[in-house]
Amino acid sequence: MKPSLFALGIATALMASVAAYAQPSSVKPMTFPVTQGKTYKFEKVAEGVYYATGGFGSNNVVIVNDNDVMLVDTGTTPGNTRRFVEDVKMLTNKPIKYVVNTHFHFDHTDGNQVFGPDVQIIGQEYLAKAINPGILNREPYQTSTGAVLQTQMDDLKKQVADEKDAAKKAALNKQLAGAQQMQAELKELKPTPPNKTYKDKLVIQSGSREIDLLWLGHGHTEGDTVVYLPKEKIVATGDLMESRLAYMGDAIFDEWIDTLDRLKKLDFNVVLPGHGIPFGDKKLIDAYQDYLQDVIVKGNELKRSGTSVEDAAKTIDLTSHAKDFPQITGKGADLRGMRRLYAWLTERGGG
């Protein structure tokens, strides 16, 4: 499953490098003042709080405090994170003191190595073991990198050769160049875990800024951190809550729904997700909880009826959620998520 998780990241990163906002969404876009860096676009959500998009991997957040800076998530390659740090200098010359990893997935953490020991890299305690090579599931990322990327690139090369439309050809060539750059940049990758961890809650008071790092329970992964700014009423959710469907390959399904209940209890007006676009309407969280519940119920029925996981991924009917998540265009769901669901149902004694 893990090599395909890597593929997801590549696909995500390529999409992000071409058109971060082109994915279908039911969310009404929020508009903020924009600063365009060389690589990243920064949207000023509040004084000193910026939503950053356009690099390889996750969307990030920059929080400029009175005397220092916090970055939320890094990206898919060390090179990408260096470009991020360069672009942040357009916003402020204050030093980066904190980096928060919202969870262990490589598209949020594989730039960690560019920071020196003077920078606190903070994550929930689960990340310390999840990111160490050879422990849990980090190793396959590294061994599969070349093969997965190469397959993607071969595929893109074929598409470029077959494409007649000049504009589409140019867009595909841009994706190919991005994949080649990523392949080169991954050669120096050293998975780097946080150097500071917490269990349930860590409050950082930096000058007049209060930043709460909260573990609200299992969900997208075991160690998801929510970054909450109580005064500004902003919450950065990583992939625990995106504006679109999130990857489910490491999900703890039932607890995810409960964790989102706890998220909704926070007082906020803006959600800055790890992928997708900012949104303000808590109804999208309700809709995502309904989706997850439906995945559990329908997945359980399919498993009990003896349907193979491959067939379940093709036939599960989640189309009633397409109004909230327009990337659902027909029956079926991501196979990696369905594999995880079947395994989880077995762990729980269901199906």
Which residues of the shown chain bind Zn ion in the complex (CB under 5 A)? 105, 239
Radius of gyration of the chain (CA): 20
Q: CB-wise, 178 or 337, nearer to Zn ion?
A: 337
Name the minimum Å distance from CB 314 to Zn ion: 24
Name the minimum Å distance from CB 247 to Zn ion: 5
Name the minimum Å distance from CB 55 to Zn ion: 15
Q: CB-wise, 60 or 307, nearer to Zn ion?
A: 60
Q: CB-wise, 239 or 324, nearer to Zn ion?
A: 239
Name the minimum Å distance from CB 260 to Zn ion: 15
Q: CB-wise, 275 or 321, nearer to Zn ion?
A: 275
Q: CB-wise, 219 or 299, nearer to Zn ion?
A: 219
Name the minimum Å distance from CB 35 to Zn ion: 26
Name the minimum Å distance from CB 74 to Zn ion: 13
For residues 198 and 265, give the distance between their C-alpha atoms in angstroms, rounded to a whole number. Answer: 21
Name the minimum Å distance from CB 36 to Zn ion: 26
Tell me whether strands 209-214 and 201-206 are parallel, antiparallel or unpaired: antiparallel
Q: CB-wise, 37 or 249, nearer to Zn ion?
A: 249
Name the minimum Å distance from CB 102 to Zn ion: 8
Residue with tokens 């809650």, as numbered in its chain? 201
In this structure, how many other beta carbons lie within 10 angstroms of the beta carbon of residue 186? 22
For residues 227 and 224, give the distance between their C-alpha atoms in angstroms, rounded to a whole number. Answer: 10
Per DSSP, what are the bridge partners of residue 214? 201, 226
Q: CB-wise, 87 or 239, nearer to Zn ion?
A: 239
Dihedral of CA atoms 40, 45, 50, 51 in degrees, nearest 10, equals: -50
Distances (CA, A) of 239 to 41, 199, 275: 20, 19, 7
Q: CB-wise, 209 or 220, nearer to Zn ion?
A: 220
Token output for 197: 């961890």
Name the minimum Å distance from CB 239 to Zn ion: 4
Q: CB-wise, 78 or 238, nearer to Zn ion?
A: 238
